[in-house]
Amino acid sequence: MEKRFVYADAAATVPTLPEALLEYEKTAREIWGNPSSQYSVGRAARRRLDECRGRMAELLGANPRRVFFTSGGTEADNWAVVSGARFMKERFGKNKIAVSEVEHPAVINAARALEREGYALEYLPVTPDGAVDIERAAKIIDGEVGIVSVMYANNEIGTIQPIGTLEKMAHSVGAYFMTDAVQAVGSVKLSFRDTGADMMTLSGHKFGAPRGIGALILSDGCEIEPFILGGEQERGMRAGTENLPAAAAMTRALELSLENFDDTERVAGLRNDIAEYIINEIPSSHINGSMKNRICGNLSVSFDGVEGESLMLLLDSRGICVSTGSACSSGAAEPSHVITALGYGRERARGTIRISLPRGATANDAEYIKVCLSECVSRLREITHI
């Protein structure tokens, strides 16, 4: 089969949408004032920033006054976990944090930093499908917990969590509930209000905005501390001159993602076709996570006797871009904490790759992935005499 280029790592990032890029350029060129300035060009920038905030809130089911622009998902996650936990400790004496075992490093490492300060950190175990084990979680989420953080959809295995049940558990003991929706926004139709969460985070480059823009959304009753200190931007909650062109681009990208949402079913069909082929045609392969309850383009698969990194590089030589897990953990010596949390051994974790199809993926892309996967796995097993 003739070599071609297939991008299949949409969970890491997607190309900036042309329309979003045009919005960025137009805003940067025409509305270049500082939104904090009181003269006319500053007021024009403020109006446009407020329009973006209002439109994002409308699309996501939130209060515009509770949408705060950030530099991306990592900052938003850090802000939510650190400031939320500190507020709950200072106001109510709650000293415990509970996060799922499969959270993104932006959440886990923020929680670990607080643990070093003296907070108690508990991990909510997951089932083999990657969903939080509700019965075991109920024994951990008690009156000492100030914040519970569970991502909406996992970045490595795509599992969608039982958010409604978990937020009720958190609220029943007076804790904040936070959800990292970085992988979900643009891939899942969701309303922040319907989640019942106190805090939700997102990142624009996951759905077609430029890198460097994201948001933290708070419920009306959620109080947390400011994260970046300085001026009075973002209602005094996040200092620094706002990145208006990026906010405008993110707003446009979200609009387009939701307008074209029906395409997610087609992408899920391609994902299912690849999964079926792998299980039926490539011996000793395993799908990680639930096939019924996961975001549309995600497929995490492990191959016995194969190093995931070697497979990723061999596929790259064929023009196919996949990953071995979270892009934020690329190059880490340890195997994926997500795969091991499912109850599988380190060898299975090391033999794992993540295929995440973007919008616009074609049947020809899926066919090329199938053929190259079969050839590359066979080649690697020959080399290692498996």
Provide the β-strand partners of residue 321.
7
Burial bucket for residue 265 (CB in 10 Å: 0-12, 13-18, 19+): exposed
Provide the β-strand partners of residue 54.
none
Write the single-letter amino acid at 2: E
Of 154, 60, 77, the residue nearest 356 (C-alpha)? 154
Write the single-letter amino acid at 58: E
328 is catalytic: yes
Of 299, 307, 385, the residue nearest 348 (C-alpha)? 307
CB 133 within 8 A of CB 169: no
Q: Find the helix or strand (DSSP H, E) in which 274 lies.
A: helix 263-281
Of 67, 63, 73, 25, the residue nearest 49 (C-alpha)? 67
Structure tokens at 280: 């039926």
Q: Which of 321, 328, 372, 376 is catalytic?
A: 328
* Polymer length of the chain: 386
DSSP for 162-228, written as a single string: -HHHHHHHHHHTT-EEEEE-TTTBTTB---HHHHT-SEEEEEGGGTTSPSS-EEEEE-TT-----SB
Structure tokens at 34: 């500082």
CB atoms within 10 A of CB 267: 23
Of 357, 281, 363, the residue nearest 320 (C-alpha)? 357
Residues designated catalytic: 328
